[in-house]
Amino acid sequence: MAGPTRFPRLRARDLEGLDVDLPDAFAGDRNLIAIAFRREHQTLVDSWAEWFEARGGSDPGLRFYEVPTIGRIWAPVRRFIDGGMAAAIREPIVLQRTFTIYGDVAEVTGPLGISDRSTITVLLVDRAGRVLWRSTVGCTEPTARRLDEALAAHRDDPTAGDVRA
């Protein structure tokens, strides 16, 4: 039997220009990761950011990250794309928690079992990079409830496996 899914080792850059290694850069005991593949996915990502803003203060071990994943063809204009995102955001905390990946998108989707890039994938990942929970929708009340259940389960049993919402 295969072990839990793990976040792949990848090089990324935050929107302040700092190169980071994932999953090492995920600083929480539990990390909510919103992976987006298209610009129009930002509304779905923002719904999870709002949930985190409401929830994050009561759970000091929880962090939120946005991970736009962009094909290799766009790497030559990374400064322009990242600069546009940074100019639109301007908040240092959001710039520091947004990690862009440019390259072979399959290096993200394959190891994480993501088969649909027409929507976002949201993962709960522990400090070791293990995927504890996943969803492919924006934040809705039922999905947030399932995430709360996963968070509670992983506080009580940090070895619990991958759960799909």
Nearest to 162 by CA among 123, 133, 121: 133
CA 1 to the chain's CA centroid: 26
Q: What is the pLDDT of residue 1?
A: 41
What would the pLDDT profile of 105-155 be if each residue is shown by its tens digit?
Answer: 999 999 999 999 999 999 999 999 999 999 999 999 999 999 999 999 987
Average pLDDT over residues 92-105: 89
- In contact, 69 and 76? CB cutoff 8 Å: no
User: For residue 126, which of 13, 26, 10, 18 has the smallest C-alpha distance?
Assistant: 26
Structure tokens belonging to residue 103: 């390259």
Domains and CATH numbers, the chain: 10-164 (3.40.30.10)
In this prediction, residue 77 has a pLDDT band, given cuts at 50, 70 and 90, of low
- Give the pLDDT confidence of 17-45 residue by residue, as tens digits: 899 999 999 999 999 999 999 989 999 99
Q: How many CB atoms lie within 10 A of CB 28?
A: 18
The pLDDT of residue 12: 95
Compute CA distances 92 → 15, 114, 126, whole Å.
Answer: 9, 29, 24
